[in-house]
Structure 1
């Protein structure tokens, strides 16, 4: 006896086995009929393994109670001793309340689960026909149907069959049921059966061999007179037989309904005749059918009635199906139909709609069917009515990436399994994910999610739905799919002209040339051409989004020609989600990135790596460059190797800049332009520093081997030292050396000068790459002074002769290559000059202002618009940098944050120190970032450096796209630039030229 208030051991065991109402289940276990098995631990373990242990136990009790004594004994004995029966019976009872009801009404049907033979594991139509053979009326047919369904469900919930096999079995059972129903109808009206040949064509999921547990079974009826009889009478007889068949399956009996038979996919829908002759069907499809009707016919399959007539029907309509893609607006019609389905979902159900909603089953099916219909004209391997088989064929033929296909396959299987288990519970036609916690728990457990089943179910469902939605959008093609990507040499001139018009409408300036590129890329039957036909429609749309679509397409053809025999290239674009879009953006954005890529086409692999667009750090770059230099046999070969690294990494940086500015469908543009500017500046600086280190190593090795007679360091100056290089910037440097112990100073000086001369020679060797020019004009005495000095010489010069502008220039000094200790001592030497104690005197401040004003008046190019010149113009780079540098020299001695070579860091530090208010600091920062981005954009677009906006309209539009402006808004871009720099100039007037700092 259980003490009141204390839980029994059974109660605890039930909780542990997953029962949610252990009190009620404990009472059920006390049912007298279960006495022989209630204490058997095997039973409790088996119940706990089901989707809903409480429901399974309740169903078991009802079945046991419904048996007579002998049958009950046999059931309980088998239940304990035969694991297959135990797992199958309890699995069904825990997943399906409706099948539990069936077993309670028909208690002997549990025997359908006892056998476990090969034929029972994977039955086909013949086995199901035997199971329905004794049915002579709708009621007995319904009972027999449920008995077969019981066995299918048992195999499903026990994992004996997977989702696709279960769906195929359900379709085979539907086929057998339609045949049995037709036999009953013929028996009831033998005179009608004698007058006609009637074939039943399965459509939809039944036709596709992928039926649900509860679904309308879509059919089309086709008939012909028997033995040359009267066609009118034959059609009337066939219509009566068809109508009777539909009633047998659809009408409610004491055993419920089997499923509705829906003939609304026939010509003219419910307004058309139920039965037509084959010629009448063809006449309709040839003259009146809409696009969706051909899409529906893709799954047509003869299943019952006259097999020869059914096969004739499918063979007759099949050519029409595979010509549907040639119809006007075909792709747009399919896309519109999918959107209409989504729009018609009640708002309250969209989030729970497993079939029709975004990311649902229809997204997979529509994408697959569209691709089948477009590409199936020339590829018969795509002619499958089964979604997963068709998807596999699309992947095998190169029309869908293997990774995409695998993800879609996995998601479709999961979503269909969810749909199966939802319907199986009460055998009701629904596609809505339940909201009740208990239903969600049972559903999650039925799918094998036993740890936190509700949370796990929601997570997996949303993950798969997200994958489906993303890939559906990716595969649901752009407008030129049917008109251009399939264009082949044998097509008519009119088709080519129509395609040219569409190219022109998308912004291609030379449609004829574009068509030639497309034909060269996509014609033929090779796998390479098939993949190109898959890629091109999407690429064309991305090219069209740029300022120069023609350049993008031409660049793509050049890259494809260069890499066409490289097996990984097209696989990369097809299989890596972002690679193709990244390539399209890069190729259509200007000259610099495509030029770099065409000189190193293998760098396209960078675009498929999720981390491929992230610039590599200086340590990594320098290590690679020095290793390449070490392997080279000559100094020239060493620098060529270093340039190869620079070319690849410069492409990485330009590509990352463009993708970060434009964004992709999967990755929106970066919100902070300053982050892009900093990333480019740091990347180009690190890359040039590594290249200079490589040139230095090559120059030393050429004459002295591993050790130069003097220590040597390269100091970065200007934008180089400030980590603010743009793509076309020179590298301003100073060279410093210090003789090694025991080396004569003159010998050391000669060695240092020879190294500098050799470095400059090597870096100036002719090349098609963007040049890396080192400029040493900021050295003491400028062009008149020695190219390289010792540390002591620098010290003597700066102590006696240094001018204020030289101290200002030293604000950007940073060690970039060579002897790190020597470089550190040089920095220690110059710190007092650039950050003078107690700041600058009035004379020094006036001198800096005078120099700035002189530079503005003398260096501005003749005819340049001062409101649009990014470097010397109003509110441009020079204005911001001189203002910040004046603050650094005045206050750097007591504000450590100002002791940086970077403009934006110094500006932020000045703001933090209260030297500049928030609004003014923001205006200066925004103006500097914008001017820098314009310079970068000009270099990316034109392939050569420039300090002002291009005058060419297309180039100007491309810079606008880089800066985030939509087509047609270059005027807004120029006005925004003028407005921001005007505000920046006002701040400069106040801070730089105004009150004493």
Structure 2
């Protein structure tokens, strides 16, 4: 946000401005006549800015009076009116310290430089010459430079006195690592922030080069003390930064500096929730940056858990309660940082999402709050309108904080209680008076507090009642075994359970099972909080018995990973969606029980029932994989599998909710497969090239990648269903004889074979998150006996000279899924040539009919054997939607027959690979009556809808024989009219 334009200087501040200008003119006069002339030569705009700033900030006036030459130098350099370039501030300080010859002089120069920069920054902030980002950035850069350059000045002098610290294991000289925490770590320092630091060093050992060596820890403790003194001690020149070391392990009672191993051990064994919260913003601000990066990587698992960690909500809630108690005790309701609707509440909102989701969503692993808010919006965690209010409210609060602190360079967030300072704050923020400013401030505090309560509030809190009401409390006695079986069954029956005895047995079986008995105290407490909620919501459904039956396996599966129970306890809406989906589909219930990480998808209702379009799918997956190191294959495979599971659940949920029709379901599932295959090909290519080098084309140029993945069957026809496998064929257009150019060269044929093997490995390997897809490669030339990867030329020769008619039928539904566009176009040309040749229709009808009869005999139900196909649907027998007479395959065979029979005359029939659009083409060119074409389309969609429903119910694609009788007769009628009997 931008603040309003500066208001006119209020009357109460006018005397301050006049007195300030007179005092400064006197100070310049004491310097020299030239100084007075330089001041009088200032342009009116700068003179006016001086009056405003000096009236608003006692600190600026005091610094200018103490050192008027500093103000003249700043004005002469132009730095009051321009932004500093990247690195300019550090470069200036390095010059200031270049010839520093003593520790006392170091402290003096650091303080004087800090005062110069503080004056410049406040001048620009109060004069609307710098926005919030620039002000916080300059202050943070100033702190970084003072810390790091101060450290690097002290280190060689300390080594000269005590020796150089050497690592016992590495034998290398050791440097300290200085972590900046809080606002410094996030690059968000305010005008009078203290700095929170943690010191560490890589490894133990001793100093070398002196008679009496020091232990490395003792060396760095002494060095740390000297650095703190250089920054924190108050002298006649003031201080550099107030330095707080209490965030280190064990706080004030702990050692000042720890080795990396000691830090890792502490956070692993004893780290508390508030320390996770603090460590989110940790950044290396001084010392050895390479070692610092290693330390942060070591500590990352402590901060970001690999699973969804809703226990962080409870920890933040507890921290907020402690803060509120302190605010009430000290009467700090007017504190814009800690009070209701203050800065800390915005930080808590952002960090709640970071702690919960950051282990899995790497985009949340960042420090600046405004960037985190942008990510929460971009990734769909919070609606844009909420983010906009949080952003504007936060920026207004931070501008207010700067106004409060600019007055006297004092670390305060309390609103003033005197008229003069109130006038200053309102003036700085651009308001005509305190009342207008305060109304706006309270508006933003109210909005922030409201959003904070939506995220952090205890779900047990009844917002409209004075006393807390525990959701599901009426079920506590039953779960805690505080009533006998008869009473428990009576309560279950009264609540709507049709079989209360079975429900009771399920609950007692869980309570007395080995999983629950082995739970630690915290996990059992979470389970005890969750089960009453589960029962309370289950009885709201029409079939609570079914809900309990399908959800209990999930509860048993996650009992030992109770963070998932916290997720559902903290999010009643997610629990409600879980029960609804599990009641509707045992397939979904089984998926979530097998892969509890899918519970994350239930948190965002809008995202759950609105899967992204194809471009967004591809971009999202690419973004996820870009955050994983290229050589971390395990994480890449897990990310691919989680992506597939998550989006598969979204599609199934949308289908059940009715927000996604059948054709769109298949579209989304196909887009999902294509997005995954695109990344799998890229990963496999990178791995194979890094090992063997790049293969060559016939002309000697490098392949890039000259490889395509062709989809057949359902994926080729854009008709994937839940749990469908992939029929794939791999084709390359490289030189099979030419060797690759890597350290371990192999010929092109071997390279592409290994590339294909790597792709299949990535797709089919079982990990903790299952496999991506089952892959069927039998449609490649010569089937299972053929090469895994065919050259384009060999594929063309096989299709033209050796392929059976059924293979050409399959080619009708073949299309390029991913890979090289040039090779893809060449494949399409081969396909069009093979399918578009003129055929003997009698022979074609006979071969298609013969193949279909074999399939009915081998795959259909008994009564649909070829001899009884016409009458099969009359019998009281099951109907196989796919294989039986009049079913899906009959329609597919008719479409394929038509494409093979007439595409030589009507090449537009080969434009599409899906049956619906091929049928449209047959109607358009007059080869199939419009009524019949539309009938086949509708019947085909009806069959597939039924098959989808069966899949979601974990049932085979077979329905009762009394269903679809008219449809089956119509299909067989058209079959016969095409001469395919």
The TM-score by the shorter chain falls in which range? 0.3 to 0.5
The structure showing larger relative contact order (alpha-carbon pairs under 8 Å, at least 6 residues apart) is 2
Indicate the structure (1 or 2) with the bigger Cα radius of gyration. Answer: 1
Could you state the TM-score of these two structures normalised by the residue count of structure 2?
0.46
